[in-house]
Amino acid sequence: MGWASGYIARLRAGETLSFCPRGGSMRGLIESGQRVTVAPLGDRALTSGDIVLCRVRGQEYLHLIHAVQGERYLIGNNRGGLNGWITRSGVFGVLVGR
């Protein structure tokens, strides 16, 4: 279980939630400790530039979609780091407020 496991469970149950993530990887878009609101993915289309709560290779992130290739999404931070490619099943929610 990672830092976002509880949030993921609530998103899967259809709940929109707010929390204050910590860390500097999204600096410039989300500051450490800044309150964010994340909504369940539903049938929402995902595009490059969306900020999503996701899991990449077992790690949970609130990171950017850097690229879309068919049904795959390249996830990374706002400092140039890339986490890897995932499918929609690895995306649990999308940022709707900050």
Q: What is the CATH number of domain 5-97?
A: 2.10.109.10
Q: What are the residue boundaries of the structural domains of the chain, listed by start?
A: 5-97
Percentage of the residues of the chain whose pLDDT score is greater than 70: 100
Give the pLDDT confidence of 3-48 residue by residue, as tens digits.
Answer: 999 999 999 999 999 999 999 999 999 999 999 999 999 999 999 9
pTM: 0.95
Q: Which residue is associated with the tokens 């649990």? A: 92
Rounded Cα distance, 72 and 12, in Å: 20
